[in-house]
Amino acid sequence: MTAEQTNQGVFSRRSLMKGVAGLGGGLVVASFANLFGIRPASAGHDRKDDPQLILNLAATAETLATTFYYAALTSAQFELHEEDILYLKLALDAEKYHLDFLVSNGGRALTNQFYVPANLLSDPALFVQVGADAETAFVGAYLAATRRFAELGADRLAGTTAQHACSEAQHLALIREIGGFAPNNLPLPLPIYYNVSDAVPTLAPFLQGGQGFIGPVTAPTAAQIMTVLGGVKSDPTQPYTRVF
């Protein structure tokens, strides 16, 4: 394996922010932030995400994730090997599990419609890039949620969001594997966000569109997800909140 195969796809905060450039700058990001009640003046370490905001942001991200994996399984125009299809089905099942947990704990997705890069389902390289960028963002956001819940003394929720981060890191590794890259290139997941709300600019293009994006694409229903899974199911497990 070459150095390029090993290192390509080590996604940085800079790469995650690329999509914002085509959206008209800070105005669009600010308007999206306002939908969540995030004050533009409150940034970085000064911001104090409340639990409801964290749950809502996470539910929105998980709804996007189910849309991404469902679309890949039902509409990809490039070849997927049998093991890749299994990886994607298990990822879809896991994202639905995450979403169900968040909703059962009061989380609410902002929308069930998303915009996606125009060639997402026809260009396998773009699919892998977007998938890995998204999973990197999800890992970073759940790490930030873990930090914040710990700060608030919500230890069981912190343990559960840590579980979610571990699951998203698995998806990142498998997306890289599908793309032909070393799946375990990172000794630690990237700590790209201090607060969950710091991920808002990363999500903004998928909710509001922009240059090179098409849509909106509607998130799949639970019944549609069950149909495409075709009986594939993750091994049973329990969230930290139900064990301790």
- Residues 217-240 pLDDT 10s: 999 999 999 999 999 999 999 999
Residue 185 sits at the vertex; the CA angle it makes with 181 and 191, to the nearest 5 degrees, is 125
Residue 24 pLDDT greater than 80, yes or no: no
**What are the tens digits of pLDDT across the range 163-177?**
999 999 999 999 999
pLDDT at residue number 67: 98
The larger pLDDT score, comparing residue 42 to residue 93, is at 93
Neighbours of 222 (CB within 10 A): 11
Average pLDDT over residues 78-94: 97
Rounded-to-integer distance, Cα 195 and Cα 147, Å: 8
Distances (CA, A) of 122 to 36, 75, 111, 125, 140: 33, 9, 25, 9, 28
Q: Report the percentage of the chain scoring pLDDT > 70.
A: 82
Lowest mean pLDDT among 73-77, 116-120, 209-213, 214-218: 209-213
Residues 6+ apart with CB under 8 A from 91: 65, 69, 171, 174
* Cis peptide preceding 124, ω within 30 of 0: no
